[in-house]
Amino acid sequence: MTKTIRENRSKFLRIKCPDCEHEQLVFEKASSKVECIVCGHVLAKPTGGKANIKADVIASYE
């Protein structure tokens, strides 16, 4: 029997809110609407696969 190694294909993104410039960590494939913790601006909307990111992506973490 052979072992298969699963490769992680999804990431976490550090994004910056366009309104208040608060930085927040978001899952790349978010399944629910993500709002800014500080001002409530919508940062990501689910699309069934990768989320539609409505903010500036600062960094990507695997």
Q: What residue ranges define each of the domains in the chain, with the CATH number in brackets?
A: 12-61 (2.20.25.100)
pLDDT at residue 8 in the model: 76
Locate the DSSP E strands across the chain: 12-16, 23-27, 34-35, 42-45, 52-53, 56-61
Output the CA torsion sign for 15, 24, 41, 16: negative
Single out the residue of 24, 32, 27 nearest to residue 56, CA to CA.
24
* 19-41 per-position pLDDT tens digit: 999 999 999 999 999 999 999 99
Joined tokens for residue 18: 């366009």
Task: Tell whether the model's pLDDT for residue 1 goes beyond 80.
Answer: no
Name the DSSP letter for residue 32: S
